[in-house]
Amino acid sequence: MPLQGKDIEGIHKLADSIRVIEGFTENHGFDGSLLNVKVSSGKPTPVEIKKLDLQLIGFFIAALLALAAVGCNVYFDITPKVSTLLLLLGIISAGFAVMAAHLKFKNTGATTIITCFLLAVLVIGFEIYTPREVADKAAEKLAPGT
């Protein structure tokens, strides 16, 4: 009674074709993009905590230090030696601010604007040039012959 009237040879062929995987390594029109698909687990992703942006923090600290040096020179009655030290501190701080800005933004235009601004503040704040002279020199460099 176990296999009465059944096609035993057909069952053997079917069993052999199931056991042996034929054409396993063939590519049937699939490309690598199927392997790059991100599958979601259905769970909400946790909010990532961003690292401290050290370049931006360094930029702000250096720029504030340069501006503080100018502020000390303008608002406090200090000797010329201290004023010279503050100018050097301002130049060094402005240099660090420009380097940090360039590393952060990787944009030559932004770096140039920040450099011009900090240098203009330094030379005006330490009374090396007047605001009018700074504007005239900038106009000469940007638009010669005007």
pLDDT at 31 over 80: no
Mean pLDDT within 110-126: 91
* Banded pLDDT at 35 (limits 50, 70, 90): low
* Banded pLDDT at 94 (limits 50, 70, 90): very high
Contacts for 104 with CB less than 8 Å, ≥ 6 apart? 53, 55, 56, 59
pLDDT at 137 over 90: no
The whole-number pLDDT of residue 1 equals: 47
Q: Where do we find the tokens 């900038």?
A: 138
Mean of pLDDT over the chain: 81
pTM assigned to the model: 0.59
Q: Is the four-CA dihedral 63, 128, 77, 85 of positive or negative sign?
A: positive
pLDDT at 61 over 80: yes
For helices 80-105 and 54-75, give the axis angle rounded to 10 degrees: 160
Helices (H), 40-79: 54-75
